Structures are given as structure tokens and as C-alpha cells.
Structure 1
């Protein structure tokens, strides 16, 4: 899809938000456009008051966003619906909010409580307030909650984009766009990194109470079962409050490929993970989320299982993984970029529908990175 002038100018603002001052030539190289194009953009943006130019340099003009003051509704109003106290989705919605404010939209934030089906009330309130579109980043602890919300969204006529969530293929939901991370690829990155280091016995300790967690679990089982470099693998819950289902943990070995059920670990015992690592001779563990990874890596060390000498640790989410006493290698989804991409998609859809253009819904996936730190 060819980048519009508006998208390119928003990218210019993103660059200037990250750097106090940038050379015009360097800016053109970053954007992969000609000097003529970038100078034309900068002249317009300087006239609008969003940037300042001086002696071949450009910097952000403080207090304005793309020629529209923050909070203005020149382009319309977008509601962002997200759960309260959720650091991962908070980073996603932060990226969306910055993009929308730069683009001249008024942003209304609805924080939902950790209850069953909280989106219904927020959507009703949003419709009453006259929003032009909605970005939805729901918690969806269980598949039942997810299916209930998707059924509700099927009747929503307003332009809607799901952030870091994808409706199940069985339910369709053709009217709603989505932008999310390719978490199957994220698990692939973690396994390839560990097997390249010689690890052949790998444990996954993961949550089950979000669509991301469920994808990480299913991807690990599928990939570990077929990976030629893995001799033995297992999945367990990473915390006592991490479960949303009653499925038992699963393990398997390479030759012949077998699977069996195991009892869930006794999380009241702080040594359950070190004991499991020793019993099953695991030399590496992938842990979702990285908040759980910080706690469990500390418990490994306290029990005499050295990280990474005795057991390598890869966290999943990379919200706080780098902040531990031992900075953790982590799969890092592009959280803010997911938000920006979703906001861009929503703004394009709003403009298209205002102009009477038939909109083709999008399912967008962005690739995560692997941030290698001391734990591997």
C-alpha cells in the first residue's frame, strides 16, 4: 500500500519526537524519500506550526500536533477501550493515542474493569457520546468472553479496529479490522535462539488468561513437537492466577513423539520451578509474561539454579524483562507500533466511509523482535 502524504508527515513527527533536532538530509534518508519531497513536506508543516526549521536542521514545535492542537476534534473523535492496570496493552494504546493526536483526532479513553464482558458498557457509552470510530484492546481472559464480545461487535456499525487481538476465524467478524503481533513467530524466535545455544530440553511456563497467552501456548506445543533440535519439552502454568481454563499441562519428547498429561505445579511451593527443572533436566525455560519471568528467575537463583549457567531464561512480552537483577532475554512485540498501525488503519477507514468508498477489512500482523540479554 502506497504511503500517503499524511502518513509520511506523521512519520516525520514520530522521528522528531525521538530526537531533539535532525538534519534535513538525515530525515530524508530515514524516510527513504528524496530531498525535494521532504523539503516540500517540511515547508507545509512549518507553515502549520508543527515543526521549526533552521540552517538545514528541523525540530518539533512544542505544544502543537500536525497543525491541530491536542484535544481538537478537527478530524473527529476516536474512543480507545482498554483494560485498567494492564502494562502491555497500555503500551499499545499509548502508541495509538499519540498517532491520533498528531493526526488531529480527539481521543476519549475508556478503562474497563477486570470483570466478565466489560466492553459492552464501554461501547454503549461510546455510541452515546457520538464517537467516529473505536480502537478496542480487550483483556478477554477466556474464550467465552472473547466469543461474547465478538458477537456484540458483529452488530456494531461504527468503524472498529481490534488491537493485539484477532477474532476467531470461526466467528468471522468481517466488519472489524485488527492489528496484532505474530506471536507464533515470537515463539519461533525464542526456540531458535535457545536451540542455537545447544538447549534440547526446554520448558514453557506461561499464562492462559489472554489471547496472547493462548497463542503462545499452542504455538510452543506445535513448534516444539516438530523441532528437530528439541529432545524434551513441557508446558506448565507460570503463576497460580494465570489460568483461565482447566486444561492440564502437556509434555513430549522427540523420538518417538509422545504426549502425556501432568498435574499442574504446586504454586504455593516457591521451589516448584527449580524442582521441575532439576527433575526433568531442563536447561532452558520460556516464561510468559515477563513479570512472571522476573519472579521465577529470581526463584531459580535463590534455589541454586544459576541463570543462565544452569538454566537459560527467555521472557515473553518485554515490558519489564530488562529491569531485573539479571536482565532477561525477551521476545519483544512491537507494542506501540501495533497501536500506531491500528490508529492509522482506523483513520483510513473513517476517511473512506465518509467519502462513500467501500472498505475492505484488514487483518494485519507485525513481527516481534528478540532482545538478547544476560539470561541466555
Structure 2
């Protein structure tokens, strides 16, 4: 089952935000996340807020596949009303359509949602517009429709090139369709990102090397590689609990991360965030970078999270409840929190150290600056970046990336 929503204070029925959150909104970067909560099957490791058509019941009821774009456009209307209370927003710089499997919607509906963002907020001339996709759902027609409708990137859920690993993850796509989907996207002049998962029970180091070599041969613009996490409430967690499959081992995942960095680095991909590599600086995922910088974004859809000016909120999870609230003229927000200065500082450290650009040393509190000598001595922070005469920064070494949580705790004085 999808993970539970956090606790928080109620969201006003009209979705309004405090004046402090809206102050200066036109001067800040602004992105939009569009969540599409539909999948053909639920993968055993996934705890995202997604639903199969069987789970949703009557087709077309509430925010079903055929009516989902209309519900999303209704929330965009709400976002427009709420944000205009603070003045004009800056044009949207990034849109990311995630899921679920966004390409379970018709490509025309995905384009219609992007047009909805453009019509209400405007798009920056160089806006990055991305959709995730299952490789089996990408056809030449889909790729051409997306490109003609303003999409610039497609992020394919490859996960592995090895059939038995995909089977353990309950991934249903044909591995051969990854190559086809990449070709279709290239023909449509879309940038391509490939998403991988490592540490699946039964995946050998040779299996992981095969996946990495396959990725390099496909020459995408961008690669994401995430360690498998066994989330409570998932099918995989139940299998681990029953002893059907082993819990992923930290040492195994560390070896696989190091191999990923070695193989991708040798192929010309530079890491820019712990789990992300880009072929060129302009191939980085700018939408995700905006999360790591703490920029403003509005999350559209069931269970989607948003952040504007230090206020974070999240929507009700079920598509039917989501669509019902919007139909009644009520915000779908389920709860929110106004971040304290201490929380915002902690998040700045937590997210900033994950980036290759690192954190300015002078942005750290005294306990963080005091911790630097020990972090350098332990080989977790690059000494050259920390001691140069100007622009001194906290930049992780490879070992520091493997122990990023430890670095964060020490910088925060825990």
C-alpha cells in the first residue's frame, strides 16, 4: 500500500497561503509537478501513491484515466487563484510529470496538462518539461506528440537490463523495449534519462555491471541510479519478513554504487547529485535541482506535495477524494506545515551536501564549521574545496557520498 501522509495542520478550504509565503513570489524560481497515479500493475517494491485500474473500480469515476487531465486542470485553476494573491509568479521553469505511469494517459492529455500550466503561469523560454514513462508505453507517435506539445525530456523506468532482476521487482516491461523507446525519443528530439535500481535481492555484481554497460551503450543524456529501499507495507517487505528474499545488504549496495560511479564516470557522465549523473551540465534534471535548492513548486494530483515560501503541504491520496474536493470547489490539501528557520536550515544542509556544487562553508552554523576538520580527516569531504582562499565549500568525496547521512548528522551537531 502507498505510504501514509504526514501529520500537519489543516489546509484552508480555499487553499490560501500565509502572506509570508507569498511575499516576493515573483522573484523566485517556480516549478510544477504533475502526479499521474495510475499503473497497470503495482511493483512489489513501490510505496508511491499509485493505483491500478482494478483498485480504482468503476472506469471514469472520480479522477479516472479518462477524466484525470480535467481534474488536474481544476487544481491548476486553484493554484493560479492562490498564488495570484501574492502577485504574478515568475514563469514556470520546470514541469515534471511523474507517477505512477504517466504514459497510461493519452499523450494528448499529457500535453493538455502542460498547456494548462503555460496558459495560467507562462513558461520560461528554456523551460524543462519532463515525463516519466514505462518503456513499453512509448511509441513513435507518443514521442512525436510529446515533443510537439512542448516536452523536452523523457525519463524511462529501465531499472535493470537483467530479466530475473526485473521479475523480482515485478517490472513487466520487455528489456528490449528500452532500446526502442530511446530510439523513438531520439527521433523526436527529446532528451533521454534512464532510471536504474541496484541492490535487488538476487542481483549479482555481474548483473549490475550488465545493466550499467547497457545504459552506456544506449548513450542517454542522463542517468539516475537508486539503491533499493524496502518500504514497509509493500509486497517486497512482506517477502523479506517471511524470508522469501533477503534484505538488501549495505555492503553490496556500496559496491554497486562505486561500480556505477566508475562505469558512468569512464563513459563521460559526471555526478551532480549523489544518485544522478549527466552527460553534460545542461543535461542535469533542473526540476530535481529545484527541490534540492528549496525552490517553490506546486504539486498537482492525489498525494502530491508542494512547497511555496517555507510552507509545505500535501494533497489527499485517493483519486476519487481528490476529484470530489475539486468538484466541490475545495482545496484537495490534506495537511500542511509552516517550516521554522531551524527546519529550513536543516533541510538546506541535508539537501545541499548531496550536490556536487556542495554547500558554502560560511552558510553553516558554528557546529557545522567545527565539524569540518574531522570530516576532512576522515576522507568524507574534499579538502581542496573546503580550504581554498575564496568560495570555500562542503563537497563530498566518493566515500562521503556513501556516508552522506553521517556527514549531515555531524554538520548538524547530532
Same fold (TM over 0.5): no
Structure whose CA Rg is larger: 1
Which TM-score applies when normalising by structure 1? 0.31
Which TM-score applies when normalising by structure 2? 0.29
